[in-house]
A and B are shown apart, each in its own frame.
Chain A
Amino acid sequence: MAQTAAEPVIRVKDVVVDLKANRILNGVTLDVFRGEILGFVGASGAGKSVLTRTIIGLLPKQAGRIEVFGIDVDELEGSDHRTIERRWGILFQQGALFSSLTAGQNVEFPMIEYLDLSPRLITEMAITKLEMVGLKPDVYRKYPSELSGGMIKRVALARSLALDPEVVFLDEPTSGLDPISAHEFDELILTLQRTSGMAVFMVTHDLDSLYTTCDRIAVLSEGKIIEVGTMDVMLASEQPWLKAYFHGARAQSDRQVAAKHLQRS
C-alpha cells in the first residue's frame, strides 16, 4: 500500500453532468492521489455531492472521462464493476445504514457479499472494525434506530472500511456532529488513513477538518474546479469566493482556534 505517492487512484477529466436540464458540472478535472486526503469544498448546491455520486456511478455523466484505479469506468462491464466497488468505501451523508440490520450486520454485510470467510472471522472482523472507529463492541447488536447521530456516522464509517478499501469517499463526515465529536472524527480519519494508507476523498464544509486533516483541497464553483492545492495555496488565493470562504468571519475565528491549538501542542 505504500506505493509511489504520485499515482492517481481517481482521475476525473472534463466531466459534464446535467440534472433535469440544469448543467451542474461543466468540465470538472481532478485527480486524487494514492494515500492523500483530499478535501473538496464549494458552496452549498455547487455540485459537490453530484461529483461524488458521479464518480461512484450513481449518476450518469454527459461527457468526460472517469478513471478509477487506472480503469475507465465506462469500459467496465457487469462483474468488473464489483471488483472496483470492492476497492472503495463510501460514507453517505446520513450514514445510510440498513435500518433492518444491526450495526454489526451492517458492517458484516460487505464482507459477506464479497469475501468467503468463516462466520466467526466475519463477526470478529466486524467487532474489530467497530472498535477501530472508536465504538464499544456492544454496539454490534444495536439497531441504527438505537444509536445517536455520531455513533451512526461511526458505524457507517466502519462499514465503508469493512473491506479495507483503497479509497474512501466521505460525504460531509462531520456535519451534524458536535465540535468534540467532529474533532474526534477528524482524528479518527487521520489515524485510519495513516495506518492503512488509503486515499480519502472528503466533501466537507468544516474548516477545522480542512485544517487538521486534508493534504490538499479542491474548490468547486460554478461547475468547475477553480483551485486545487494545499491550505497555503487556498489562503494565498486571490479568488473572491475563496477569499470569502477562508478569510470570512468564521474562518478567522477558526484559524485563531487552530493557531492556539498548534501553540499548545
Chain B
Amino acid sequence: MTAGTLTLIGDQTGGDRLGLAAAGSWTAEYAQVLESRLEAATRADPRVKNVAIDAAAIDRLDSFGAWLLERALRTLQSQGRQARLVGLREDYRGLFDKVHAGTQRLTPEPPRQNRIIATLESVGMTMVTVGDDFVRLAEMAGWLIAALKRVAMRPLTFRLTSMVNHLERVGWRAVPIILLITVLIGAILAQQGIFHFRKFGADIYVVDMVGVLVLREIGVLIVCIMVAGRSGSAYTAELGAMKMREEIDALRTMGRDPVEVLILPRIVALIIAVPILTFFGAMAALYGGGFVSWLYGGIAPEVFLSRLREAISVETFEVGMIKAPFMALVIGMVACVEGLQVEGSAESLGERTTNSVVKSIFLVIVLDGIFAMFFASIGM
C-alpha cells in the first residue's frame, strides 16, 4: 500500500491554470497528511482561476479520501475558481458521487450564553428542580394513599408475594452487613468515649452516652443510610430499567397501576424491614460498645448492664424505633420517584440512582432533625 500523495504538476506561474495530481492510497490512514496538503493547495495564488485535480493515479480510495477531494473542490469553488476532478477510476465514481451528494448543512448551534448569566441560570434551574422534587414527592405520597385506599377496599389485590420477595431482599439479606457496621460503630463510640471521659475520671458515663446515642440517633441513622445506599439505589435502578424498556407503560396498558403493582409492595417491604433492622442494629451497637468497654475500659459486662438500665428508659428506645418507619417511607418514596424519572439513556439511569441515594440520605437527616425538635418539645 503506497501512501497517498498530492503533487503540483506543470509550472504555471503567472498563468491562471493549476494542475494537481493525486496518487497512491487516499484512505483514512493518510487523511491527516492529505488534508494539510489540500488545504495548502486551496490557498493558491488568487490569480489562479482554473484548478484540475487529476485522480487517475489514485489506486485506493475510501470515503475519507473522497470527502477530502470533494471538500477541496468545494473550497476552491467557493473562492470563485473553476475546479474539477478528472480521471477518477470508474469503480470509485459511485463512492465519490455518494459523498458529493452530501450537503453538510448543519443548523448552527445556538450561540453560547454569557458565562455569568449561564451560571445564574443553572442555579435558578437547580432551585426549580428542588421545588419540583418536593412536588413529585407529594404526588407520590398521593398516589400511595390512593393505592392504599384501593388495596384496603379489596385486600386480596395487595401484591403479597412481591412484598415478601422485596422484604427478603431489603430486610433479611441486609442483616449481616447492618450487624457488622453497627457493631463497629458501637465499638468506636465506646472507645472514643472512654478515651476522653477517662481524663475526668468519668469512664462509667460512657455507658450513658453509648446507650442514649445508639438507641435514639445513631442506630436508626446508620441503618437508614445503609438501606438508602443498598436498597434505595436498587429500587431506583430497577424501576428505571423497567421505565427504559417500557415495562411500566406495558403494565399501565394492561390496566394495572404501576404504583399498586411495583411501588406499594416495595415501600411496604421497606417500612417493615427498616424498624427490624434498626432494632438489630441498635442491639449490635450496644453489644459492640459493651465489648469495647470491657476490653478497653475495664467496665465489666454486669456493671455495663446495670449502668445501662439506669441510663436509658423504654422511652429512649421508642424514640429511635418511632422514627424508623417514617425514614423508610422517605427512602422508598425518593427511590421510586427517581426511578420513574429515568429517561432513555444509560447516563440518566446512573444520574437518577446517584440522586436517589444522595437525596434520601439528605432527607433522612433532615427528618431526624425535625424529629429531634418534636421529641424535645413533647419532652421525650
Which residues of chain A have a CB within 8 Å of any CB of chain B?
1-2, 98-100, 111, 115-118, 121, 124-125, 127-129, 131-132, 137-138, 140-141, 143-145, 161, 163-164, 191-192, 194-197
Contacts and interface: CB of A to CB of B under 8 A. Distances in A.
Given A144-B344, A191-B94, A197-B91, A125 B106 contact: no
Interface of B: 27-29, 31-32, 35, 60, 62-64, 67-68, 71, 91, 94-95, 97-99, 101-107, 109, 343-347
A141 B105 CA distance: 12
A196 B99 contact: no
Given A121-B35, A125-B63, A195 B344 contact: no
A99 B105 contact: no
B35 A1 contact: no
B260 to A, nearest CB: 28
Given A191-B98, A196-B63, A137 B105 contact: yes
Q: Chain B interface mostly helix, strand, loop or mixed?
A: helix
Contacts of A124: 67, 71, 104
A129 B345 contact: no
26 contacts: A1-B60, A98-B346, A99-B345, A99-B347, A100-B346, A115-B28, A116-B32, A117-B32, A121-B35, A121-B67, A121-B68, A124-B104, A128-B67, A128-B99, A128-B102, A129-B63, A131-B101, A137-B106, A141-B109, A143-B344, A143-B345, A144-B345, A192-B98, A195-B97, A196-B95, A197-B91
B94 A131 contact: no
Contacts of B106: 127, 137-138, 140-141
A interface, by DSSP: helix, strand, loop or mixed? helix
A111 B27 CA distance: 13
B67 A125 contact: yes
A1 to B, nearest CB: 7
A128 B35 CA distance: 16
Contacts of A131: 101-104
Given A128-B67, A145-B343, A196-B62, A164 B28 contact: yes
Contacts of B71: 124
B244 to A, nearest CB: 9
A206 B67 CA distance: 33
Contacts of A116: 32
A128 B62 CA distance: 12
A145 B91 CA distance: 38
Given A124-B71, A145-B344, A195 B107 contact: no
Nearest to B60: A1
Contacts of A197: 91
A161 B62 CA distance: 11
A98 B347 CA distance: 10
B55 to A, nearest CB: 15
B98 A132 contact: yes
Contacts of A161: 63
A164 B91 contact: no
Given A116-B32, A117-B35, A121-B31, A100 B345 contact: yes
A138 B32 contact: no
A100 B102 contact: no
Contacts of B91: 1-2, 197
A164 B62 CA distance: 7
A132 B60 CA distance: 19
The 6 closest A-B pairs by CB, nearest first: A145-B344, A99-B345, A195-B94, A100-B347, A131-B102, A164-B62
A221 B108 CA distance: 52
A145 B103 CA distance: 25
Contacts of B109: 141
Contacts of A129: 63
A140 B109 CA distance: 11
B33 to A, nearest CB: 10
A247 B347 CA distance: 47
B102 A127 contact: yes
Nearest to B94: A195
